């Protein structure tokens, strides 16, 4: 299938047929390193799959950007992933899933899923008292996307969103278990405790890395929903249904997992190696603005 780079606005498919085979890789992208928590779950749940990951480390964070900008950036990344002949795409970024998925899924002819819908679905299923909290970036909370998806499943559920803009910088600074993170978490989460939610969605891919801090504050009665886990599960179901699951075991030496970033390969590798089971041999820098 021909694919034109530098297409100015929309991704234009040249054909309606899907020209991919089951051993093609899965494309996964995020604004930076957070999406690696989704990669980790995909590696665990469908270990035969090859992965092409792109982290937009030059333009991170997305959480404070507008819908227009996040959609433009996401389109560029989807164009890049298509050049790598991926068979499916996972938007492993809550902000981009919230802001860009609905537009982009109309424009391409391979499966694409985000992290928001799987997380919303499970939260709507597990809540007992009908009060769900969502913690995420400013952009994700402002988009109301979790509320919208949950209400599509159950109109009677109350969804309370709370933006936690300092969580990402604290995680990236490595303060995963630290009194400062405890204090900030306590401030952000108190109102959700007061409202008596019984389910809390970790609506940013960085947040599973401070899951124990969040869990300690929320207490045992609150179920924490990790969209990274639910997304990998949904991806497995989707690939199975479409008969696209890779049945052949691929060795690690054969470019099974490839990582691309828009900047700072060394820093990315260090972070990735701290959270992934498999060492990353190298991350390649590409100029994403060219796509």
Residues involved in catalysis? 93, 204
Applying CB under 8 A, the site for a copy of itself has a residue count of 24
Q: Which stretch binds a copy of itself (CB under 8 A): 102-110, 249-257, 261-269, 275-283?
A: 261-269
- C-alpha distances (whole Å) from 79 to each of 3, 8, 26, 110, 265 are 8, 11, 14, 12, 21
In the bound state with a copy of itself, the residue whose beta carbon lies nearer, of 166 and 275, is: 166
Quick one: tokens of 88?
Answer: 């499916």
Residues 36-65 that bind a copy of itself (CB under 8 A): 57-60, 64-65
CB of 183 to a copy of itself, least distance (A): 6
CB of 22 to a copy of itself, least distance (A): 36
Residue 43's nearest CA partner among 116, 92, 111, 105 is 92
CB of 41 to a copy of itself, least distance (A): 26
In the bound state with a copy of itself, the residue whose beta carbon lies nearer, of 68 and 148, is: 68
CB of 165 to a copy of itself, least distance (A): 6
The Cα 148–Cα 145 span in angstroms is 5
Residues 141-200 that bind a copy of itself (CB under 8 A): 165-166, 169-170, 172-173, 179-180, 183-184
CB of 174 to a copy of itself, least distance (A): 10
- Candidates 38, 114, 264, 272; binder of a copy of itself (CB under 8 A) is 264
- Candidates 250, 267, 276, 286; binder of a copy of itself (CB under 8 A) is 267
The Cα 34–Cα 211 span in angstroms is 13
In the bound state with a copy of itself, the residue whose beta carbon lies nearer, of 137 and 226, is: 137
In the bound state with a copy of itself, the residue whose beta carbon lies nearer, of 29 and 188, is: 188
In the bound state with a copy of itself, the residue whose beta carbon lies nearer, of 70 and 92, is: 70
CA triple 16-88-245, angle to 5 deg: 110
210 has which bridge partners? none
Q: Which stretch binds a copy of itself (CB under 8 A): 44-52, 113-121, 249-257, 260-268?
A: 260-268
- Candidates 31, 127, 226, 262; binder of a copy of itself (CB under 8 A) is 262
In the bound state with a copy of itself, the residue whose beta carbon lies nearer, of 191 and 196, is: 191
| Interface residue list for a copy of itself (CB under 8 A) | 57-60, 64-66, 68-69, 165-166, 169-170, 172-173, 179-180, 183-184, 262-264, 267, 289
């Amino acid at each position: 299938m021909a694919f034109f780079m530098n297409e100015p606005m929309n991704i234009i498919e040249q054909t309606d047929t899907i020209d991919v085979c089951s051993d093609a890789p899965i494309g996964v992208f995020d604004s930076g390193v957070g999406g690696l928590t989704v990669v980790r779950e995909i590696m665990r749940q469908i270990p035969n799959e090859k992965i092409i990951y792109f982290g937009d480390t030059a333009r991170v964070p997305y959480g404070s950007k507008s819908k227009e900008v996040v959609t433009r950036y996401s389109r560029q990344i989807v164009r890049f992933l298509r050049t790598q002949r991926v068979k499916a795409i996972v938007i492993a970024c809550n902000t981009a899933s919230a802001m860009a998925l609905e537009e982009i899924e109309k424009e391409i002819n391979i499966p694409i899923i985000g992290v928001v819908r799987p997380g919303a679905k499970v939260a709507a299923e597990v809540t007992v008292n009908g009060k769900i909290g969502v913690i995420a970036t400013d952009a994700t909370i402002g988009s109301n996307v979790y509320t919208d998806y949950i209400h599509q499943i159950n109109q009677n559920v109350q969804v309370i969103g709370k933006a936690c803009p300092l969580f990402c910088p604290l995680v990236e600074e490595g303060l995963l278990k630290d009194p400062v993170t405890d204090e900030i978490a306590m401030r952000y989460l108190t109102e959700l405790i007061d409202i008596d939610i019984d389910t809390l969605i970790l609506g940013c891919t960085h947040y599973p890395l401070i899951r124990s801090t969040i869990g300690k504050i929320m207490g045992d009665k609150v179920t924490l929903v990790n969209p990274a886990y639910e997304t990998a599960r949904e991806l497995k179901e989707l690939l199975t249904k479409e008969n696209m699951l890779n049945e052949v075991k691929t060795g690690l030496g054969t470019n099974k997992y490839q990582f691309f970033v828009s900047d700072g390969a060394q820093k990315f590798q260090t972070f990735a190696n701290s959270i992934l089971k498999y060492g990353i041999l190298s991350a390649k820098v590409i100029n994403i603005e060219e796509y």
